[in-house]
Amino acid sequence: MESPYKHISELYRYEEITYSRGLDESDNVIQGFDMRLELRTFVVLRATAKGVWIKMFGLNKEEKFVHLGAKKQYASPTKEQAMQCYKSRKKRQIEILSYKLDKARKALSLINEQ
């Protein structure tokens, strides 16, 4: 059976890269950070009926399988899809962190009630 994904040679994933602002002239850490959005490109090694294997760089795994029919996928066949996935990941991250912040505030308020 021939893979429907054999024509795909690259996958894309957007990630934010955070940089320290470094040190001032007195060697004190400058507060805050700078951030840049980066598009990572992954070479497709081989295709299967369900997805593709991509080459990973600088990570523990040398290869990663990406199920291209899944709702959530590590990387996408187009830059537009990669951007949409990035937006979805960041929206979900905000939801999760907002919940954790609310939970921490509520826990702290329990101390004030005693």
- Please name the residues in contact with 41: beta carbons below 8 A apart, sequence gap of 6 or more: 10, 11, 12
Which burial class, exposed, middle or buried, applies to 51 when counting CB atoms under 10 A from its CB (0-12, 13-18, 19+)? buried
> Please, what are the averages of pLDDT over each run of 10 residues along the chain (114 residues)?
85 93 80 90 93 84 90 94 96 97 94 77
Domain ranges of the chain: 10-87
pTM of the model: 0.80
**Residue 2 confidence (pLDDT):** 75
